Chains A and B, each alone.
Chain A
Amino acid sequence: MNHEAMDLHAAAYALGALDGEDLREFERHRAAGCDRCETFLRDSREALVSLEASTPLPAPPPFVKTALMRRVSRQTPRRAWLPWTMATAAAMAVAALGSGLYVSSRYEARLERLARDATASAQLTALLREPGTRFVTLQGTGPASQAHGRVVWHDVAGGQLVVTGLPRVPEGKAYELWAIRSGTPRPAGVFHVDDAGGAAVGVAAADGAVDGFAVSVEPASGVLAPTGPIVLASAP
């Protein structure tokens, strides 16, 4: 590997200017792990941030914050539901224990799952109200051909991934979701499935329009480009 070429790729990449085969080559190089390039990318990002911050910054127009806080306050009851449902689930478990009933760990797990499901469905409901929300179906591939997935997706707001029928992964591994933009997969979150092979997880927006999604088996800490087998993919 000629690292001088990678040094040049890294600079163009840090500026968002790398394209074509160079981009694919550099993404493969990063996926293989390169401390030198990661350090350069991180230092470049920080230097570019410092560049903006190095002179006095005029305040942005006040109406932007007013509008944002109004939007946030309209949306908050939905998000505040998460602590509430979790607290309710915990209180029910504690009450059951206090009354002398034997509460198995399985029961508590079910309550927790119920709370999680309620949160996920609340987020889904809100997403469905957004104009521009679409559904992307994922089909199982290879040994996971029984698996199904669906992403309720909005290019600006992000979305929710729901999967069923995925086997548990070995210790140290996890499933990683990829958002495909212009043919390039970008990491969109790591998740595990429950005993029934299902999961419902929030997916952050990808800073642009997404063409499709895929799921692969990866190290549990997540990676920047797919390395393991693809188990779910959307139709091209």
Chain B
Amino acid sequence: MLGMSEASTDLIRRMAAGDQQAFSQFYDRHAALAHRLITRILRDPDDAADVLQEVFWSAWKAADSYDADRGTPEAWIITRARSRALDRLRSVRRRSATFVAPVDEGIVATRSGAEQGPGQAVDRVAVESGLERLAADEREVLELAYYAGLTQTEIARQLQAPLGTVKTRMRRALERLQGIMGKRTG
């Protein structure tokens, strides 16, 4: 993993100098990862493709601002992808004026495993990954925050749970996830 990160860091450095070939290689390495996350957040293939393009275009333009001390290239692109996807999600929600419903339906369908139509295909994959190792209440807060972009206050309101409980679950979810993922990659 370390070698791959270093190679990607070198690609970003070359991108900052205007190297198109480096950008092409950087895209090939990281686009699928970013696309998975964007699709999980937006659930619409056209919106996801659009945001994917925006994310890599902004990465190309901001390559000279990458700071290896602040995280790996993978984390850099994933952070940008999540942020752009959530911006899009919020603007879609504002337009459709259905702030809570799509999130609720999506997460509940995943949790119960019921009625998994084509729209839930991405979630089914995630169920087979690290998320299924979390307790249901931990996974719920993680998904509402990370994939649905809700703040702790919004999550507490939606779950009708005390804020402290939501925060404790988030901490437990991340600690457990770090343990699971650390074992997998290390």
Which A residues are closer than 8 A to B by beta carbons? Answer: 7-12, 14-20, 22, 40, 42-55, 57-61, 63-65, 67-69, 71-73, 76, 79-80, 82-83, 156-158, 189, 202, 204-205, 207-208
Contacts and interface: CB of A to CB of B under 8 A. Distances in A.
Interface residues of B, number: 68
Interface string B10-37: 0000000110100110011001110111
Q: Which 6 A-B pairs have the closest CB atoms?
A: A79-B18, A204-B65, A204-B62, A57-B32, A15-B145, A17-B145
Contacts, number: 174
B129 A55 contact: yes
The DSSP consensus for interface residues of chain A is helix
A64 B58 contact: no
Given A15-B141, A17-B145, A64-B56, 16 more contacts: A10-B171, A16-B149, A17-B170, A20-B153, A47-B181, A48-B146, A50-B130, A50-B184, A51-B177, A53-B33, A64-B31, A64-B53, A69-B24, A157-B58, A204-B61, A207-B58
A144 B60 CA distance: 35
Contacts of B33: 49, 52-53, 57
A41 B125 CA distance: 25
B170 A207 contact: no
A83 B18 CA distance: 9
A71 B31 contact: no
